[in-house]
């Protein structure tokens, strides 16, 4: 099979398309014929040497969609059968074992989520990990409800677009940020009610619209903007720290009383495949298919273009989700 192999931390040149043996199924694991895979900041962190627990060489990729290709007889009780469309994500894919940047991937049974959809593979490839993270952030992280005001810090990221789609479906009023004014129309097309151009300090803009602050906020940029996002949130409101577009995720010398505004709650979210119920994935795909939920922009790449894809991700040149297609 053809697969992308990362030889070690470093520049995009460390990514190379290579011929590898097709992985053999074994008890507790399922082989998937990969049709598409999403690209994520997690893989960028791995390539830059910022991830822990990674051994090299390694096939990157924390998610993939495709068709179940082989299931060990010992796992018949899982209900997975060859030919079933399925998504897989997380669970140390692309770190402790080979991930989704390949024509086949072998993953634990527990991180396979089956679905039925005739949507194109590039659309399907944009959904799993982004939906899992957005869904978990809005439910577990924020308990977002209809009628609430909701701020997305980092709105033009793939996760930002997905969070906006879910929040609008819930019935929230959405504010979203972008550092690039030319991307404001893309946010409005996604359903954002109030677009904010982010110059590093958006709390004053938010409080012009909502003087007491927003009910809930999703931090996707990282620790550099977190204090300002907290300042944009009302007393008894909640900020969920989920993303690290800035590649900065720690707060030096954290002193809670000095750092957190009085009464503002700070949570975090980072989930796994089993945090995305199959019914939620299926429902989201159905809503994309009937047009009631907007997926957001998707940029696709062939397997041979993986270096360009990583360069675009690192430089923020592409809007929304980046998806690789295996061509199988």
144-171 per-position pLDDT tens digit: 999 999 999 999 999 999 999 999 999 9
pLDDT tens-digit map of 277-322: 999 999 999 999 999 998 899 999 999 999 999 999 999 898 899 9
Q: Are 66 and 34 contacting, i.e. CB atoms less than 8 angstroms apart? A: yes
Across the chain, what does the average pLDDT equal?
A: 95
Alpha-helical runs (H) found in 39-172: 41-47, 121-125, 128-136, 158-170
Residue 273 is encoded by which pair of tokens?
């495949």
Predicted pLDDT of residue 248: 81
Identify the three-state secondary structure at position 200. Answer: coil
Residues of the chain with pLDDT under 50: none
Q: Are 267 and 240 contacting, i.e. CB atoms less than 8 angstroms apart? A: yes
């Amino acid at each position: 099979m053809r697969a992308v192999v990362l030889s070690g931390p470093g520049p995009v040149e460390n990514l190379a398309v290579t011929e590898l043996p097709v992985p053999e199924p074994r008890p507790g694991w399922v082989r998937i014929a990969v049709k598409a895979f999403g690209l994520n900041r997690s893989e960028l962190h791995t390539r830059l040497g910022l991830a822990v627990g990674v051994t090299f060489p390694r096939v990157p990729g924390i998610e993939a969609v495709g068709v179940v290709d082989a299931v060990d007889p010992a796992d018949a009780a899982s209900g997975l059968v060859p030919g079933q469309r399925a998504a897989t994500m997380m669970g140390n894919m692309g770190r402790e074992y080979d991930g989704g940047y390949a024509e086949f991937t072998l993953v634990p049974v527990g991180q396979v989520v089956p679905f039925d959809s005739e949507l194109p593979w590039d659309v399907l490839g944009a959904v799993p990990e982004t939906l899992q993270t957005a869904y978990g952030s809005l439910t577990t992280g924020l308990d977002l409800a209809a009628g609430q005001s909701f701020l997305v810090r980092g709105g033009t990221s793939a996760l930002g677009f997905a969070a906006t789609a879910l929040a609008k479906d819930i019935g929230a009023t959405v504010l979203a940020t972008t550092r690039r004014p030319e991307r404001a129309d893309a946010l409005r097309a996604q359903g954002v009610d109030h677009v904010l151009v982010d110059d590093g300090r958006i709390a004053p803009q938010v409080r012009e619209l909502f003087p007491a602050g927003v009910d809930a906020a999703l931090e996707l940029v990282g620790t550099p903007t977190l204090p300002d996002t907290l300042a944009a949130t009302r007393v008894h409101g909640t900020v969920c720290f989920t993303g690290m577009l800035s590649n900065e995720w720690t707060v030096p010398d954290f002193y809670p009383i000095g750092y957190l505004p009085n009464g503002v709650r700070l949570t975090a979210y980072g989930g796994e495949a089993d945090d995305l119920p199959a019914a939620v994935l299926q429902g989201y795909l159905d809503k994309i298919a009937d047009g009631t939920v907007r997926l957001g922009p998707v940029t696709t790449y062939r397997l041979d273009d993986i270096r360009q894809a990583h360069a675009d991700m690192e430089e923020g040149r592409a809007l929304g989700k980046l998806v690789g297609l295996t061509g199988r």
